[in-house]
Amino acid sequence: MINLGDKVKDTITDFEGTVVARIIYLNGCVRCQVQAKELKDGKIIESEWIDEGQLICKDKAKEEEKDSTGGPGSVPSGFSHP
């Protein structure tokens, strides 16, 4: 789930920004309003409403990488499981 304040990227258009609003419609459709951080010609870029399903959270991806502690790695070849 995407939360307010998350930094996200649209997987289709590559539009990036911060989620400033989230709406759930009666039919179950969830959309997020994303505000870009950058300016275009010195002006604020208009925010976009994007389906939550096509957004990836950039913050959570970094946290998952950071939380990874490694582990035993892959099973060596020639080793069989019971």
Q: Please state the domain extents for the chain.
A: 7-60
With beta carbons less than 8 A apart as the criterion, state whether 37 and 17 touch: yes
3-state secondary structure of 64: helix
Each residue's pLDDT, cut to its tens digit, for the chain (82 residues) gives 899 999 999 999 999 999 999 999 999 999 999 999 888 899 999 999 999 999 999 876 555 554 555 566 665 566 565 6
pLDDT of residue 59: 73
Structure tokens at 1: 């789930």
pLDDT of residue 58: 86
pLDDT of residue 78: 63
Structure tokens at 14: 């590559």
Residues 6+ apart with CB under 8 A from 6: 18, 19, 57, 58, 59, 60
pLDDT of residue 4: 96
DSSP element (H, E) containing 8 = strand 7-10
- pTM for this one? 0.69
